[in-house]
Chains A and B, each alone.
Chain A
Amino acid sequence: MKKSVILGAMAFAGLAAGAASAGTLDDVKARGKLNCGVTVGLVGFAAPNANGEWEGFDVAVCRAVAAAVLGDSTAVEFVPTTGKTRFTALASGEIDMLARNTTWTFSRDVDLKFEFAGVNYYDGQGFMVPKELGVSSAKELDGATVCIQTGTTTELNLADFFRSNNISYEPVPIETNAEAQQQYLAGACDVYTTDASGLAATRATFDDPGAHVLLPEIISKEPLGPLVRHGDNEWGDVVRWTLNALVAAEELGITSANLSEMSAGTENPEINRLLGSEGTLGEMLGLDAAWAQNAIASQGNYGEIFAKNIGEDTPVGLARGLNAQWTEGGLLYAPPFR
């Protein structure tokens, strides 16, 4: 490949420049593919399998949006991003949405000019220690060596927590979860801190999970959710309401098993509106009437996605906790489809 091809590609890109500003929804439709940013690898949330297909909880959100917009849950290009590249990839338009455990914070929303489309996982930062250390509270960790992943909000929370409790610690910054786990298991750090879901997922893969405890303190709020670029409200709406549709489907009892039966029409008008047999919700979004039906058909409702990827029957083994429906004491609360 001589420089001609690169120049050709530049020329090509220059021609495509006109189309790029037309709005992400139109772009995605024209392209026939959704570009979705995911993490490079986190058990249960996103990782490629042996066939190179991406699987996981975050991946399911991408697939649902692709199904809603394009009617095909496989029409997704997964773009692996690191803590460093994720925001640039989104800001530059390389990806259409970022579904990578990213915490919704003020500065990311306001200063970095992104828009969070909702929360697909309520998390909080926790600590894991070996049982043999006999630690029962994070406040007893004075002088401990703590493994943290860099480039995330966790290291800021950690600094704040130890500072406000006036205890010292030794941070060991790590790039990926796999490395952190290796250091923790070898005893190179006493404590591993990250989101509680990540801790549970990591512990589940240990040789002897029972030898490690999660400390009771959750030192931060980590609402994780998909995000899109600021200022493209139509596209933001599509992602937000696709996520809401998955949550509402669980609340309304729509599962992938009874989806076809329910989409024919039911006694419940909200189900009918959601699944498109009544009203024009899809049209308002700029999608076809079966958008939510497609989204749910791709991976099931929120509860099914959760159970399949990170639920208690999987190796990750997370309980629903905060991520239960509001009717069951959790925080999941989809606004009405009306």
Chain B
Amino acid sequence: MSGTHSHTVAFVRDTMLPEQAPPASEVGAIGWARHNLFSSWFNAILTIASLAAIYFVLAAIVPWILSPTWDGTSLSNCRETLAAAGHGDAHGACWGVIKERWIQLIFGFYPSHLYWRPIAAFVLLGVALAPVLFSDRVPSKLLIFSLLYPFIFPWLLWGGTIWMPIAAMAGFVIGGLVYKFASQALSTLLGVILGAAAAVIWWMVLAAPVSGALESILPIGIEAVESRKFGGFMLSVTIGVVAIACSLPIGIVLALGRQSDLMIVKYICVGFIEFIRGVPLITLLFVASTLLNIFMPPGTNFDIILRVLIMVTLFASAYMAEVIRGGLAALPRGQYEGADSLGLDYWQAQRLIIMPQALKISIPGIVSTFIGVFKDTTLVSIIGLLDPLGLSNAIRADANWNGIVWELYGFIALLFFVFCFSMSRYSMYLERKLQTGHR
């Protein structure tokens, strides 16, 4: 067949044509736009609508932001500056308030010569978290620092004698030692109970006088700062960090309780978790501000920030319990069976096999719980604490800045956004990393 045709066809190309460049409408910016922006009439409409929306938003905001008022000393001063600079209708931000108050918005009323302490505390927080979060790149010996850090953090922030955190730490040591000996001599369960009891007795009865006595013998300490001085962004971060750190152990206990076969223990844990998760945080803060003192022994009095810390910790621990329960549920059944087959008892299995894995899986969940709690700390402004939002009201009560709205809200929103956004990105990165590790 082909032979007959070969005679009738006048010309047969025997060389390859060079590749032609694709049409101009398919490459470069135009091609990209055609594929990604105008692939159908519906997409074209969407694109044009989006462009219009972007234009209107930017046209409204950008001139407002670019306002030459960084040196404004009061709102009226800003208005004069704006009028002089020719901003029509005094439309522009008054950035003077941020320049004057940004330190207050970040540190609250913390004594200015001690600013290094909160900064150091939060930098060291990163160091303490590094071995947990970047376990592949950081030597695991740093874990010792991570264990010490929960005692360094409050000492740096609140100050006072160094013996108090040491005494608090001694409680754990005593509890651990009692557990070790009691569990060898008696049973593991008795060991746990006795260890916990010993630690509680130490903290409740002995810790304060012992640290007081040590302080009178060897006074080492840094200037004490009352929690009333905490404010602004630092207060939000402190509440968030403390609540998450304290809620972790409580959350683990609650999660184990909820998973347990013991009916009463299970119902107590379920009841607590569902109660806390069923009510809004603001009602718990009302409890902190109005009721907690009534629930405590007569005459007990701790300041409002400690009370808020307690309630936010309880709040966070219910959510933390659910996160950790998720981590426990995600562990393959074989891990539990493997632990059983090795003859480990319940606590050994939890400590050596289950918890390390479950916690690792839960880290992204813990981070997002932290973001949630951190954002929720703005609620404390409703009960009169001076977090950034509360401070913005106090600043507006200053005759100079009376009537300022957007600048303060914008600045606060920016601070929260930067913080939460970077953490959520990090959590996503972790999630990806953990996924490849396990599946």
A, B bound: yes
Binding site for B on A (CB under 8 A): 1-18, 20-21, 40-44, 46-50, 52, 77, 79-82, 84-85, 88-89, 92-94, 175-178, 181-182, 185, 202, 204-207, 314-316
Which residues of the other chain, A, contact B167 by a CB distance below 8 angstroms? 8
Q: How far is the CA of A214 from the CA of B341 in the complex (A)?
A: 83
Q: Are A2 and B402 in contact (CB under 8 A)?
A: no
Within 8 A of A (CB), among B173-227: 200, 203-205, 207-208, 226
Is chain B's interface secondary structure helix, strand, loop, or mixed overall?
helix
| Seed contacts A1-B246, A40-B393, A80-B390; 11 additional CB < 8 Å A-B pairs | A2-B246, A5-B164, A5-B168, A10-B302, A11-B203, A42-B397, A82-B382, A176-B393, A177-B397, A178-B397, A206-B403
Asked if B289 is at the interface (CB within 8 A of a chain A CB), the reply is yes
| Nearest CB in chain B to that of A49: its residue | B398
Q: Are B154 and A1 in contact (CB under 8 A)?
A: yes
Q: How far is the CA of A141 from the CA of B281 in the complex (A)?
A: 39
Asked if B280 is at the interface (CB within 8 A of a chain A CB), the reply is no
Q: Are B402 and A84 in contact (CB under 8 A)?
A: no
Q: Are A11 and B303 in contact (CB under 8 A)?
A: no
Within 8 A of A (CB), among B285-310: 286, 289-290, 293-294, 296-304, 306, 309-310
Q: Are B300 and A13 in contact (CB under 8 A)?
A: yes
User: Given that A20-B301, A93-B301 are contacting pairs, would A82 and B168 also be in contact in the complex, using a CB cutoff of 8 Å?
Assistant: no
Asked if B171 is at the interface (CB within 8 A of a chain A CB), the reply is yes
Q: Are B306 and A6 in contact (CB under 8 A)?
A: yes
Which residues of the other chain, B, contact A9 by a CB distance below 8 angstroms? 302, 306
Q: Are A207 and B76 in contact (CB under 8 A)?
A: yes
Q: How far is the CA of A11 from the CA of B169 in the complex (A)?
A: 15
Q: Are A43 and B402 in contact (CB under 8 A)?
A: yes
Which residues of the other chain, A, contact B402 by a CB distance below 8 angstroms? 43, 178, 181, 202, 205
Q: Are A7 and B299 in contact (CB under 8 A)?
A: no
Query: CB-CB contacts of B393-408 with A at 8 A, as 1s and 0s?
Result: 1111111001101000
Which 9 A-B residue pairs are closest in the complex by CB-CB distance? A41-B397, A17-B299, A92-B293, A178-B396, A205-B402, A4-B168, A20-B299, A52-B109, A1-B154
Q: How far is the CA of A47 from the CA of B296 in the complex (A)?
A: 32
Shortest Cβ distance from residue A299 to the other chain B in the assembled complex, whole angstroms:
18
Which residues of the other chain, A, contact B100 by a CB distance below 8 angstroms? 50
Q: How far is the CA of A93 from the CA of B151 in the complex (A)?
A: 29
Q: Are A92 and B301 in contact (CB under 8 A)?
A: yes
Q: Are B228 and A79 in contact (CB under 8 A)?
A: yes
Q: Of B109, B150, B200, B299, which is within 8 A of A21 by CB?
A: B299
Shortest Cβ distance from residue B179 to the other chain A in the assembled complex, whole angstroms:
16
Q: Are A1 and B297 in contact (CB under 8 A)?
A: no
Q: Are B394 and A11 in contact (CB under 8 A)?
A: no
Q: Are A182 and B399 in contact (CB under 8 A)?
A: no
Q: Are A182 and B154 in contact (CB under 8 A)?
A: no
Shortest Cβ distance from residue B277 to the other chain A in the assembled complex, whole angstroms:
20
Q: Are B394 and A41 in contact (CB under 8 A)?
A: yes
Query: CB-CB contacts of B348-375 with A at 8 A, as 1s and 0s?
Result: 0000000000000000000000000000
Q: Of A17, A82, A205, A207, which is within 8 A of B297 by CB?
A: A17
User: Given that A11-B207, A40-B384, A50-B101 are contacting pairs, would A88 and B393 also be in contact in the complex, using a CB cutoff of 8 Å?
Assistant: no
Within 8 A of A (CB), among B247-290: 249-250, 286, 289-290
Q: How far is the CA of A11 from the CA of B206 in the complex (A)?
A: 9
Q: Of A8, A16, A176, A202, which is within 8 A of B299 by CB?
A: A16
Shortest Cβ distance from residue A313 to the other chain B in the assembled complex, whole angstroms:
13
User: Given that A4-B172, A92-B301 are contacting pairs, would A41 and B76 also be in contact in the complex, using a CB cutoff of 8 Å?
Assistant: no
Q: Are B304 and A79 in contact (CB under 8 A)?
A: yes
User: Given that A11-B205, A92-B301, A181-B403 are contacting pairs, would A6 and B290 also be in contact in the complex, using a CB cutoff of 8 Å?
Assistant: no
Shortest Cβ distance from residue A278 to the other chain B in the assembled complex, whole angstroms:
40
Q: Are A47 and B153 in contact (CB under 8 A)?
A: no
| Nearest CB in chain A to that of B231: its residue | A52
User: Given that A2-B150, A50-B104, A85-B289 are contacting pairs, would A94 and B301 also be in contact in the complex, using a CB cutoff of 8 Å?
Assistant: yes
Q: Are A1 and B150 in contact (CB under 8 A)?
A: yes
| Nearest CB in chain A to that of B306: its residue | A9
Q: Are B171 and A18 in contact (CB under 8 A)?
A: no
Which residues of the other chain, A, contact B76 by a CB distance below 8 angstroms? 207
Q: Are A12 and B208 in contact (CB under 8 A)?
A: yes
Q: Are B207 and A80 in contact (CB under 8 A)?
A: no
Q: Are B298 and A17 in contact (CB under 8 A)?
A: yes
Q: Are B302 and A13 in contact (CB under 8 A)?
A: yes
| Nearest CB in chain A to that of B203: its residue | A7
Q: How far is the CA of A41 from the CA of B389 in the complex (A)?
A: 13
Within 8 A of A (CB), among B140-159: 150-151, 153-154
What are 19 A-B interface contacts by the 8 Å CB criterion? A2-B168, A4-B171, A5-B154, A5-B168, A6-B310, A9-B302, A9-B306, A13-B300, A40-B386, A41-B393, A41-B397, A43-B397, A43-B399, A52-B231, A82-B382, A82-B383, A175-B382, A206-B403, A207-B79
| Nearest CB in chain B to that of A93: its residue | B301
Q: Are B403 and A185 in contact (CB under 8 A)?
A: yes
User: Given that A5-B154, A6-B306, A18-B299 are contacting pairs, would A84 and B204 also be in contact in the complex, using a CB cutoff of 8 Å?
Assistant: no
Q: How far is the CA of A156 from the CA of B306 in the complex (A)?
A: 34
Asked if B242 is at the interface (CB within 8 A of a chain A CB), the reply is yes
Which residues of the other chain, A, contact B306 by a CB distance below 8 angstroms? 6, 9
Asked if B245 is at the interface (CB within 8 A of a chain A CB), the reply is yes
Which residues of the other chain, B, contact A10 by a CB distance below 8 angstroms? 204, 296, 300, 302
Q: Are B249 and A8 in contact (CB under 8 A)?
A: no
| Nearest CB in chain B to that of A20: its residue | B299
User: Given that A7-B204, A44-B399 are contacting pairs, would A77 and B302 also be in contact in the complex, using a CB cutoff of 8 Å?
Assistant: no
Shortest Cβ distance from residue A281 to the other chain B in the assembled complex, whole angstroms:
31
Q: How far is the CA of A16 from the CA of B301 in the complex (A)?
A: 9
Q: Are A92 and B294 in contact (CB under 8 A)?
A: yes
Which residues of the other chain, A, contact B393 by a CB distance below 8 angstroms? 40-41, 176, 178
Shortest Cβ distance from residue A78 to the other chain B in the assembled complex, whole angstroms:
8
Q: How far is the CA of A168 from the CA of B145 in the complex (A)?
A: 67
Which residues of the other chain, B, contact A175 by a CB distance below 8 angstroms? 382
Q: Are B297 and A48 in contact (CB under 8 A)?
A: no
Q: How far is the CA of A11 from the CA of B296 in the complex (A)?
A: 11
Q: How far is the CA of A5 from the CA of B299 in the complex (A)?
A: 19
Q: Are B384 and A85 in contact (CB under 8 A)?
A: yes
Q: Of A6, A8, A16, A204, which is within 8 A of B246 by CB?
A: A6
Q: Are B203 and A8 in contact (CB under 8 A)?
A: yes
Q: Of A3, A12, A16, A181, which is within 8 A of B249 by CB?
A: A3
Q: Are B390 and A40 in contact (CB under 8 A)?
A: yes
| Nearest CB in chain B to that of A81: its residue | B384
